[in-house]
Amino acid sequence: MKLWSDNWTNGDRIPARFAAGCLDESGGVRFSDNLNPHLAWSDVPASAKSMVLICHDFDVPGRSDDVNKPDREVPADLPRVDFFHWVLIDLPPRPMAIAEGEYSRGFVPGGKPGPHTLHGARHGLNDYTGWFATDARMRGEYFGYDGPFPPFNDSLVHHYVFTLYAVSIARMPLEGAFTGPQVRAALAGRVLAEATFSGTYSLNPRLAIPTL
């Protein structure tokens, strides 16, 4: 199975319009266009009943002590954890494409609604749900796609991996507000094929500036 995008080449820097955050004119950060990228796939097994899409960042600092502090950088050797940006299940195998901006346009304080979404698919919660849990203005259930917004002082460029799974059942055995780890666990024994597509992103002015 193959997965690709017309928006950037596999492994390259993600354009800022697909991120939740970007650099502003003064060198600070602000919310960006937060468009979901175009994705397309091919060579799906004939027996596939549905598709599952997960996007995660595996470079998120495991501790928040140094995050977004202007007087220091997050150390490169700090333990890193997964942060889920998009969890989509029950997606029909065909048509074999997701259009740019089809599932997300703009960052919504409190989160976009879910779990039910286009084409009979369902969205899970992304990890902005936990990130904003103690923020009275921003907290809520963040369903669907919300793109990169890494710490502006991180010494690492972050990597974002889109993984598409062809699965053997039409409806995943999950209910309500499910999460990325729950989907990963439910995939066990049901994956017929998978493919990945990735990109990188940083908001650290010392590092390469993301393309617009």
User: DSSP readout, 83-147?
Assistant: EEEEEEEEE-S-S-EE-TTSS--S--TT-B--SB-GGG-EE-B-THHHHTTT-TTT-S--BS---
pLDDT-wise least confident of 19-28, 129-138, 176-185: 19-28
Whole-angstrom Cα Rg for the chain: 17
Which pLDDT score is estimated for 209?
Answer: 56
**What does pLDDT average to over the chain?**
96
What are 58-111's pLDDT values in tens digits?
999 999 889 999 999 999 999 999 999 999 999 999 999 999 999 999 999 999
Q: Please give the single-letter amino acid code of residue 111.
A: G
Task: Report the C-alpha gap between 78 and 81 in whole angstroms.
Answer: 10
Report whether 12 contacts 211 (CB < 8 A). Answer: no
* pLDDT the model gives residue 169: 98
Lowest mean pLDDT among 17-26, 38-47, 191-200: 17-26
DSSP bridge pairs for 165: 52, 194
% of the chain exceeding 70 in pLDDT: 98
For residue 111, give the nearest of 82, 81, 133 by alpha carbon: 133
pLDDT for residue 208: 57
**Banded pLDDT at 181 (limits 50, 70, 90):** very high
Instruction: Provide the pLDDT for residue 136.
Output: 97
Above 60 in pLDDT, residue 12? yes
Residue 212's pLDDT is 47
**Domain at 2-201, CATH homologous superfamily:** PEBP-like (3.90.280.10)
pLDDT computed for residue 184 by the predictor: 98
Sign, CA torsion 133/138/143/147: negative
Which one has a higher pLDDT value, 207 or 17? 17
146, pLDDT greater than 80 = yes
